[in-house]
Amino acid sequence: MKQSKRTPISLLVLSIVGLWLFLAAPSGTTEIKISTDTDIFALPNFNLDIMFVNGLAFAVQALALVASIFFVMVRNHKTPRYVVVAFAVALVFEILVGLFAGKTMTFTSLLQGSLALAVPLIFGSLAGVLSERVGVVNIAIEGQLLAGAFVSAFVASLSDNLFAGLIGAIIAGALVSWVLAVFSIKYVVDQIIVGVVLNVLVIGLTSFLFSTLMVSDLALFNQPPRFEKILIPLLGQIPVLGPVLFHQTLIVYLMYLAVAVVYVSLFKTRWGLRVRAVGEYPKAADTVGIKVFRTRYVSVILGGALAGLGGSFFTLGQVGAFGKEMTNGAGYIALAALIFGRWNPIYAAFAALLFGFAENLQYGLAIIGSSVPSEFLLMLPYALTVVAVAGLVGKVTGPAASGKAYIKS
């Protein structure tokens, strides 16, 4: 089968961007600070010559482009993933060094912020994986995240108990996904329409309750406690990785566990085999005795519960209060991460981290007073989403029965 030229063309276009960055690179240096005060040992700061680094990065991009053309045009083989990763790392590094020209880039802080912004996206993408792997398109991730954020803030404020807030968020997300499941599975309503309606419903309901209930007494209804960061001894003191991965709140550690559990459950267990069978060929699965409807209900509701847990991060792990539409489209970015990750929990998590990195870069550049126009910074995460999904991923095929109602004959 002839391989698509989409990836080489995309890399060619991005290589032109890399060449422009190299030619337009300012003279001077960029300082990169890696270590933090809690590290076991301190790593030195690096002063990088911008012209040299950009030239080296462009050389890597050129080699990756040539390799992609060779694999696709000569060997009729798709571009290996490591070639795309090498190209992406080189281009991102070239952009970072140029943007922080003459300033100090705190690398560890950049990664910490990226992970924090990616946590709800990862939970949302896991919800999408569980739903779509069983054949139900989950457009309602945005509503599930927002419901989890609202209920967690409300319950934790009233009870002054963080774990009560977490349980409330899980129930809220599961309830939204239960409505999605009922209308999509039992009443055979178009799944995309149901998802969009649920998003609008949750946005309207939470905004109404915020304006009429929460605002009336913020101290009582919208002042929840927040999870403190937990430092894991020794692991948390490893330079770079320690502060980023092992000095986090409980919700982040639950996210690590959720990614692992969802992956193992889907690809290493009988239950996961049934889920994937229902998502691919529900009629054949029904024929061999798999309960299609029950499997779909369980998987969709579990996904909603995870999304609700992700929503609690906004209020109990990050902001400390609920605000109108505070998810700000995170559910739709999670959908893009799901597609970028090819319906695989681990790949979807890495895709979510990429989008979180783009958004955090926007904030970081604004703080240091970068000369980059603010409009460009605002569009950066969404532009990256379009480039990643349309340009690098290209045509991907999800589960065969995704979005298709099953009517038992």
Task: Give the side-chain half-sphere CA count within 13 A for 349.
Answer: 18
**Exposure letters 125-151 (e unless 16+ CB within 10 A, then b):** bbbbbbbbbbbbbbbbbbbbbbbbbbb
- Which residues in the chain show pLDDT less than 50? none
Contact between residue 257 and residue 119 where contact means Cβ atoms under 8 Å apart: no
Bridge partners for 48 per DSSP: 30
Rg of the chain over CA atoms, in angstroms?
A: 23
In eight-state DSSP terms, residue 46 is: E
Question: What are the pLDDT digits (tens) for 176-189?
Answer: 999 999 999 999 99
At residue 361, the pLDDT reads: 81
Question: What are the pLDDT digits (tens) for 210-261?
Answer: 999 999 999 899 999 999 999 998 888 888 889 999 999 999 999 999 999 9
Contact between residue 119 and residue 191 where contact means Cβ atoms under 8 Å apart: no
At residue 179, the pLDDT reads: 97
At residue 370, the pLDDT reads: 66
CA 340 to chain centre: 10
What is the DSSP annotation of 189-243?
A: --HHHHHHHHHHHHHHHHHHHIIIIIGGGHHHHS----PPPEEPTTGGGSTTHHH
Place of tokens 């795309």: 84
At residue 306, the pLDDT reads: 97
Which tokens belong to 112?
A: 């910490």
Residue 329's alpha-carbon distances to 120, 267, 309, 381, in angstroms, are 11, 29, 17, 11
